[in-house]
Chains A and B, each alone.
Chain A
């Protein structure tokens, strides 16, 4: 359906009309389509010595984004206007001011696509290249340059990228100095065979087997700015991947290699790097098994060799741990991939006790058990090799590729039991057992804001109850308890949430650090929220104390300081 807008009413600002004559002989002009969104978060901070609350000089912060996307046929263009006035506390400190942070124009057909300006892209599983945004975390390593995508043959997909990466924001986008360029090819074998055999592969005997092959090459350039070392200016990485599905079974793997890349992350050693990611899943109705393994050895890859934290990352190393959503489990001891290297394994088993069985009840019961563990590399340091006279500067030797080293970084065992008792009542119980090596992860701080030494072992129980009444009303209660001998001791958390569909929600959260060794720090972190939702508009207001913690999305975390005050947010999409 198309909306017709009378030409004359718009003629004042659309000069195109002046060429037209009014009459029966009408011609349509397609104005295209606009989509986008707005999000803003205003925060006002108050002093609160009981929780060491942080207060910026400005006392309040405003972080806002507006995306506008225009599409007409094969052409599209977009901008994002960003404001950090200043950015909320905990955000990377290189974001300030207001201006354009992203702009692009693109042309795409089924066979070919060209983008100029900013873009986000991922090759394979991202081991050698991934540009993405996580606005809430302040992560944005968008490319700025050019991308070409081609689909020359059935099943064959090729992508090429060339450009610089977004580094910081200062009244506008500021790119890092390094260059990044790369190419990726993917062959979906079944699509190719399909077209060759001229009939659907679904009718062939091996139809259940899907095979996808891929390969990428990515290279970066940064001039040698070291007075003492001879640094490689061009550093290349390459990767190969394979994915196979056969009915209920899928196997996925990617291996990547990087030539010597001395950087701040590896202490400027000249050792080559490599990484591998393996995944196996078996999934059938009501039962599934997932097995993951990962190893990264000297595989941080950035377009600036001295960059830190999440800055100017070219690749992405997924944390092989489950992302939790319950407050205590999500923000106290979460894991983020270590840049120098690690060996990680994960297993997850899921089973649905059938409906109408004795234990399953009318609706069935879902059980999920997950185990994840991360170790350091099995390596031996060669200290004499790091002296100024050394010509090799390898730094260390890695004894085995997929075997764990002696030092355990992290472990998480969790079990979830979820049952729906009636049409209106359901309950979920979750148990977590964390091992968190804070010498490595450095996410836990004591009462004086100093890093905690050693390992933290914590157990968490969560009971989540939800009851719906009179169709539109719902009350949800979360009871959480964390016990640990280390760090800040025990916590008890209660969350009570009331929603009235489709518009209103009210929530109250109390996190009580009753196990803190310092009686004065046994504080109730009380926080209340009220919100209103209409279609794609969402408005929330929150007030109270917020605990310091790690705020993570997708295995990437940032430290957020404790604060007290008012938060107002508004988001909309159009």
Chain B
């Protein structure tokens, strides 16, 4: 018998978050039927974060149709601004899954330092790409990666 050391690809740790209705949601339940998933860390006070998610929102219907991708937006707003998340999301009309990480537990577990920080998971839940900060146009590169992940 021999031993084969197996270094796992990076996946999503299990952390308890909140939905906008206050229900608990475990991050290990993030999945998308074998299709790619984008996880984007943001906050209501972060302008580039909102710009990134608003720019993606303009293309989101096409992205979903073409690749089956789903976007999960993790707000790291703390108690001071967490109550702003639901009003903001409604007023801009995002169709993303929104989760609250009020004490930055998931942010810490994912090694995120500052927002915006975006991860791409392939259909099996492995992290295949991550990007920190946002410049207009970055979403095109992200989408190239989404398409590549969808073909796998």
- What is the CB-to-nearest-CB distance from B53 to chain A, in angstroms, rounded to a whole number? 14
Across-interface contacts of A473 in B (CB, < 8 A): 137
Taking CB atoms and an 8 Å cut-off, the chain A residues in 119-151 that contact chain B are 120-122, 125-126, 130, 132-133, 135
Contact A348 B2 (CB under 8 A): no
- What is the CB-to-nearest-CB distance from A236 to chain B, in angstroms, rounded to a whole number? 22
Complex Cα spacing A340 to B33, Å: 52
Complex Cα spacing A1 to B102, Å: 31
Complex Cα spacing A320 to B8, Å: 44
Across-interface contacts of A17 in B (CB, < 8 A): 3, 5
Complex Cα spacing A284 to B3, Å: 57
Q: Please, what's the 1-or-0 string for A373-392, where 1 marks a CB less than 8 Å from any CB in chain B?
A: 00000000000000000000
- What is the CB-to-nearest-CB distance from B97 to chain A, in angstroms, rounded to a whole number? 16
Contact B24 A501 (CB under 8 A): no
Number of residue pairs A-B, CB distance < 8 angstroms: 238
How many residues does chain B have at the interface if contact means C-beta atoms less than 8 Å apart? 61
Contact A501 B140 (CB under 8 A): yes
> Which residue in B1, B9, B114, B137 is a CB contact (below 8 Å) of A571?
B114
Contact B108 A120 (CB under 8 A): yes
Given contacts A5-B4, A7-B4, A16-B3, whether A554 and B113 have CB atoms under 8 Å apart is no
Complex Cα spacing A33 to B8, Å: 6
- What is the CB-to-nearest-CB distance from A100 to chain B, in angstroms, rounded to a whole number? 16
Taking CB atoms and an 8 Å cut-off, the chain A residues in 1-41 that contact chain B are 1-7, 10, 14, 16-17, 19-23, 25-33, 35-37, 39
Contact A20 B1 (CB under 8 A): yes
Q: Please, what's the 1-or-0 string for A201-225, where 1 marks a CB less than 8 Å from any CB in chain B?
A: 0000000001010000000000000
Across-interface contacts of B136 in A (CB, < 8 A): 466, 468, 474, 499, 501
Complex Cα spacing A279 to B90, Å: 17
Complex Cα spacing A468 to B138, Å: 12
Complex Cα spacing A445 to B130, Å: 42
Contact B91 A288 (CB under 8 A): yes
Across-interface contacts of B21 in A (CB, < 8 A): 210, 245, 250
> Which residue in B102, B108, B135 is a CB contact (below 8 Å) of A474?
B135
Given contacts A35-B109, A501-B137, whether A23 and B1 have CB atoms under 8 Å apart is yes
Complex Cα spacing A71 to B11, Å: 10
Contact B5 A29 (CB under 8 A): yes
Assess whether A286 is interfacial by the CB under 8 Å rule: yes
- What is the CB-to-nearest-CB distance from B115 to chain A, in angstroms, rounded to a whole number? 11
Complex Cα spacing A7 to B5, Å: 6
Contact A120 B104 (CB under 8 A): yes
Contact A26 B2 (CB under 8 A): yes
Contact B87 A283 (CB under 8 A): yes
Nearest A residue to B114 by beta-carbon distance?
Answer: A571
Taking CB atoms and an 8 Å cut-off, the chain B residues in 93-139 that contact chain A are 93, 102-105, 108-114, 117, 124, 126, 129-133, 135-138
> Which residue in B84, B89, B124 is a CB contact (below 8 Å) of A348?
B84
Contact A281 B5 (CB under 8 A): no
Across-interface contacts of B14 in A (CB, < 8 A): 108
Assess whether A42 is interfacial by the CB under 8 Å rule: no
Contact A31 B23 (CB under 8 A): no
Of A299-307, A530-538, A560-568, the one contacting chain B is A530-538
Nearest A residue to B47 by beta-carbon distance?
Answer: A325
Assess whether B148 is interfacial by the CB under 8 Å rule: no
Q: Please, what's the 1-or-0 string for B42-75, where 1 marks a CB less than 8 Å from any CB in chain A?
A: 0001110000000000000000000000000000
30 interchain pairs, CB-CB under 8 A: A1-B124, A1-B126, A2-B6, A2-B8, A22-B2, A26-B1, A27-B2, A31-B5, A69-B109, A110-B26, A120-B108, A122-B79, A188-B22, A210-B22, A212-B22, A250-B86, A283-B86, A288-B86, A288-B91, A348-B87, A350-B91, A471-B140, A474-B135, A474-B137, A500-B135, A502-B137, A502-B141, A535-B129, A538-B133, A571-B113
A-B complex: 5 closest residue pairs judged by Cβ atoms: A501-B137, A288-B87, A499-B135, A318-B80, A283-B90
- A sample of 16 more A-B contacts (CB under 8 A), given A3-B9, A281-B86, is A16-B5, A26-B1, A27-B1, A32-B8, A122-B102, A243-B22, A316-B79, A322-B45, A322-B81, A323-B81, A324-B45, A350-B88, A472-B140, A502-B141, A535-B130, A573-B113
